[in-house]
Amino acid sequence: MNTAEIIDGLHAYERKTLSALKDTSNFDEIVSKTGLKEVQVMRAVQWLQNKGLVTIKEELKELVIPDSNGKLYLRQRLPERRFLEAIKEGPLTVSALKSKIKLSDQEVEVCIGILRKKLAIEISKKPKGLEFSITGNGKEILESGSLEEQFLNRLPLEFLSMGREDRFCYDEMKKRSRIVKNEMVKTRTVLLTELGSEIAGYDLTKDNLETLTPEIIKSGSWQFKKFRRYDVKAPVPKIYYGRRHFVNETIDYIKRIWLDLGFKEMEGNLIQSSFWNFDALFTPQDHPARELQDTFFISNPDKAKLSDENLVKRVAKTHENGWTTGSKGWRYHWDPEEARKLVLRTHTTPLSAKTIASLKQEDLPAKFFAVGRCFRNETQDWSHLFEFYQVEGIIVDPNANFKNLIGYLKLFYRKMGYDKVKIRPGYFPYTEMSAEIDVYDKEHGKWMELGGAGIFRPEVVKPLLGRDIPVLAWGLGLSRIISQYYGLNDLRKLHSNDLKELREVRAWLK
């Protein structure tokens, strides 16, 4: 960009600042000379620095500045001056002095000590008490001002640069109550570069038009004006727009996938009875997953009411002897009290079980999904959470088969950004056939397990639905997908509320 283009692109703040820089490099003096606010000058200086016209030098300095009493005395004058002015017309006693000028007892004592030391007053004993009169030295102080007054009027001063006389006044002032104090202050010096000096030498008093107003358009005066050149490459402050938490953004995207495929969403409580969380899914009551080590049990209330007696009986018989499913069951005595125990759901599959139990013949075929929170009694660390999200899905259709299941899973993961999907045999208590799903992570060059799937066993479907038909089912992990996409190496950050990180995390785009 040539000199003319730079000048044409200067903002009004920049023009005023450049003009002031010809005379001073002190930031505070620039503010004073331009008549701009400090924030406006700071903005102009940053713009000029971006254009290579100035350099900014910042230093941390220890300054001596007026404290609360010092500021008061700058307005009302030092107590010793007011003391001398009160007695210059004639001697006064302490009581007469206090009635003439408003000084506290402490201030009067300080004044007497200081002025006696400077030989500025004479004290004589009278019947009414001590009487004070001014001396020649006192009159000279009134005329020319004391060293302390001159020092206070020159503040702020850099502590390390003070001379012997200023250091003496500083030490004297520090003995008194809250007159001066030390403060670390960041000072800015703005220096013109070679290019900046060249441009500052031009006439910068004429401002170019910044915006078009209705008045300028109506009058047509814009035709005789010059518009400021805009630099579209200039850095601008970041604007953080309102947005949802990145986990919720991902969940919304996943929900959209299933809704677009014709699925209906399932919803339900985070607290479920053991009946729906385990028993309805043909998980035996002595299964290790039902132990306290894996499951959060609710203590108050601790039991649920099992309302559908016929359904409960069918599930009980299925566990005990297989009922009419063709299975032999688990061959133990099923305990209804164990099934009534309340738990934080360990997976979203209770929603699938409840949905299947609510279906009628005319509802089929049907497709449902859920994206919900689940809980496992895990020790929390970088790779484990006691709370996680699961993507649940079922297809209840007499004509469904395992190939349909594979097709839906591959389609879902392709929409999530994974082209390579591997289905391999697996085992789950409530599905047969069962499968586990791996996807290929291109970025890290490895296969990653992301979930399980299968076809619900007759021992699950028949007690719930009343007849055995294919029900395709899957439960997919969400944490790993999110962690890979957002580059998180600690699962705990999925629930972080660090505002800086939330602002800077990239959007979910697939």
φ, ψ of residue 448 in degrees (nearest 5): -135, 125
* pLDDT score recorded for residue 228: 84
Q: What is the per-residue pLDDT across 240-257, written as a single tens digit (0 to 9) for each? A: 888 888 899 999 999 999
User: Could you tell me which residues are beta bridge partners of residue 194?
Assistant: none
Q: What is the per-residue pLDDT across 209-241, written as a single tens digit (0 to 9) for each? A: 878 888 888 888 888 778 888 777 777 778 888
How far apart, in whole angstroms, are the C-alpha atoms of residue 201 and residue 207?
16
Long-range CB contacts (within 8 A, 24+) of 295-299 = 295/343, 295/344, 295/346, 295/376, 295/377, 296/343, 296/344, 296/375, 296/376, 296/377, 296/386, 297/341, 297/342, 297/343, 298/271, 298/341, 298/342, 298/343, 298/344
* pLDDT score recorded for residue 104: 84
457, 431 contact by CB (below 8 A): yes
Q: What is the per-residue pLDDT across 439-458, written as a single tens digit (0 to 9) for each? A: 988 877 889 888 899 999 99
User: Could you tell me which residues are beta bridge partners of residue 297?
Assistant: 343
249, 507 contact by CB (below 8 A): yes
Tokens (6 digits) for 211: 């915006």
Q: What is the per-residue pLDDT across 462-510, written as a single tens digit (0 to 9) for each? A: 999 999 999 999 999 888 778 878 888 778 888 878 888 888 888 887 6
Q: For tokens 């030989």, what's the residue?
A: 119
How far apart, in whole angstroms, are the C-alpha atoms of residue 404 and residue 59?
70
Instruction: Give me the half-sphere count of Cα atoms (radius 13 Å) on the Cβ side of residue 111.
Output: 28
* pLDDT score recorded for residue 1: 66
State in words which class domain 247-504 has.
alpha beta
Q: Which amino acid is at 392?
A: E
**CA atoms 262, 264, 270, 274: torsion sign:** negative
DSSP state of 225: S
How far apart, in whole angstroms, are the C-alpha atoms of residue 141 and residue 97?
19
Residues 6+ apart with CB under 8 A from 489: 382, 483
Residues 6+ apart with CB under 8 A from 199: 3, 6, 7, 10, 18, 53
* pLDDT score recorded for residue 510: 66
Residues 6+ apart with CB under 8 A from 38: 31
Q: How many CB atoms lie within 10 A of CB 87?
A: 22
pLDDT in tens, the chain (510 residues): 688 888 888 888 999 999 999 999 988 899 999 999 999 999 999 999 988 999 999 888 899 999 999 999 999 999 999 999 999 989 988 888 888 888 888 888 999 999 999 999 999 988 888 899 999 999 999 999 999 999 999 999 999 999 999 999 999 999 999 999 999 988 889 999 999 999 988 888 776 787 888 888 888 888 877 888 877 777 777 888 888 888 999 999 999 999 999 999 999 999 999 999 999 999 999 988 888 778 999 999 989 999 899 999 999 999 999 999 999 999 999 999 999 999 999 999 999 999 999 999 999 999 999 999 999 988 777 767 788 899 999 999 999 999 999 999 999 999 998 889 999 999 988 999 999 999 988 877 889 888 899 999 999 999 999 999 999 999 998 887 788 788 887 788 888 788 888 888 888 876
Tokens (6 digits) for 405: 């299941």
* pLDDT score recorded for residue 498: 81
**CA atoms 35, 39, 41, 47: torsion sign:** negative
Tokens (6 digits) for 468: 């055995």
Nearest to 334 by CA among 274, 272, 271: 274
pTM: 0.60
